[in-house]
Amino acid sequence: MAVSFHLALAVSAVAVAGLVLLASGYAVLTHDYRRILIDRLLLAAVALLLLAGVTGLLVFATSRRLSDPLHLVYGLVVVAALPVARYLARQGTPRRRGSYMMAGTVVSLALLARLSMTGG
């Protein structure tokens, strides 16, 4: 049950990160950085990632062993990737801010793909 919830939260985070990528791509193409939209999507993605992390720790604590301990490291890094990108995107032209957000989102999505390979 907890494993399914952990997986559902991770899949939801992927979907929301995809929306961040689309909104950031829109900013790069049109020079129209929708800060409030991107920030809200980013907060939703980070919240889902944090919840997935908490449920993953609960699964780990209740006896399920990881097939690869790097899963924990990737989990920590993926939670930090989007806020770091947002911090880097705090100033500059709309195109530059969108580019930083796109790069951070691509890193997050790549890490989420890697997490799916290292999970139990």
State the pLDDT at residue 120.
62
CATH number of 2-118: 1.20.120
Region label for 16, one of left (φ > 0), alpha (ψ between -120 and 50) or beta (otherwise)? alpha
DSSP characters over 84-102: HHHHHTTSS-HHHHHHHHH
5-56 pLDDT tens trace? 989 999 999 999 999 999 999 999 998 888 899 999 999 999 999 999 999 8
pLDDT at 106: 96
Give the domain ranges of the chain. 2-118
